[in-house]
């Protein structure tokens, strides 16, 4: 036999202790590499204050929301106040939010026997955010929230289902408005 017939394998056999140690070491290096890679990602929530940057959470809590005149508008307003302050005390107002809320109901489909027709409620909010000290408009926009419900042959159940749908649509539109305002305040240049 020549020396080329007896090749020496430099990697340990997988069943040996040295083979297991080598696999564990490779696995540890891969895990360490993935951990370092993941720690390099810097994703931050919009509402989290950024060092030396805009204080979005503080700005949101400093928004004064004008009064509204109907139940659905009040739901939108209440959801915004809770979202801005987190249920805590609001900061002294630096911004003013004016809104106009419209709620509409539409029938979605027709049943042959008129049982349990589906309806949709759309809550549309037109709003404008101004800085109180300068009167400068920061954001003017429109958002919609939609929720559906089914009717039955019971009047009270229909009324309650509509109110629940209006509340869901109001929550949806308030969440969208809060996100848009936070983004507008975060990207705004001071002054």
- Strand boundaries in 3-136, DSSP class E: 63-65, 95-107, 118-131
Range of the domain at 33: 14-43
Q: What is the pLDDT of residues 30-74, one digit of tens each?
A: 776 666 565 555 555 555 544 434 478 888 989 999 999 899 999
Could you tell me which residues come within 8 angstroms of residue 186 by beta carbon, excluding any fewer than 6 positions away?
A: 46, 53, 54, 56
pLDDT mean across residues, the chain: 81
Nearest CA to 148 out of 132, 165, 172, 135 is that of 165
Assess whether 138 and 177 both reside in one domain. Answer: yes
Assess whether 114 and 156 both reside in one domain. Answer: yes
Average pLDDT of the segment spanning 149-157 = 88
**Ranges 14-18, 88-92, 175-179, most confident:** 175-179
The answer to whether residue 12 scores a pLDDT higher than 60 is: no
Assess whether 30 and 78 both reside in one domain. Answer: no
**Residue 56's pLDDT is what?**
81
Assess whether 69 and 90 both reside in one domain. Answer: yes
pTM of the model: 0.68
| Token pair in block for residue 122 | 């759309």
Q: Note the Cα 147 to chain centre separation in Å.
A: 17
Assess whether 32 and 109 both reside in one domain. Answer: no
Average pLDDT of the segment spanning 157-181 = 95
Residue 50 lies in a domain: no
Phi, psi of 139 (to 5 degrees): -155, 135
Q: Is the dihedral of CA 38, 39, 42, 44 positive or negative?
A: positive
- Strand boundaries in 117-169, DSSP class E: 118-131, 137-150
Assess whether 91 and 152 both reside in one domain. Answer: yes
Q: What is the pLDDT of residues 107-128, one digit of tens each?
A: 887 666 666 588 999 999 999 9
Which CATH number does the domain housing residue 73 bear? Answer: 3.30.160.150
Q: How many structural domains comprise the chain?
A: 2
């Amino acid at each position: 036999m020549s020396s080329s017939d007896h090749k020496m394998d430099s990697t340990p056999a997988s069943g040996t202790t040295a083979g297991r140690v080598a696999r564990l070491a490779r696995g540890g290096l891969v895990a360490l590499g993935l951990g370092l890679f993941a720690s390099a990602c810097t994703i931050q929530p919009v509402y989290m204050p950024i060092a030396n940057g805009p204080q979005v959470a503080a700005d949101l809590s400093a928004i004064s929301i004008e009064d509204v005149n109907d139940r659905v508008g009040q739901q939108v307003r209440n959801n915004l106040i809770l979202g801005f302050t987190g249920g805590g005390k609001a900061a002294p107002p630096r911004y003013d939010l004016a809104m106009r809320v419209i709620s509409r109901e539409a029938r979605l489909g027709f049943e042959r026997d008129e049982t349990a027709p589906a309806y949709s409620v759309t809550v549309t909010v037109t709003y404008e955010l101004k800085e109180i000290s300068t009167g400068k408009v920061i954001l003017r926009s429109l958002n919609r929230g939609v929720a559906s419900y089914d009717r039955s042959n019971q009047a009270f159940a229909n009324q309650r289902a509509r109110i629940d749908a209006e509340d869901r649509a109001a929550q949806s539109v308030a969440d969208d408005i809060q996100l848009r305002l936070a983004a507008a305040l975060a990207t705004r240049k001071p002054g």
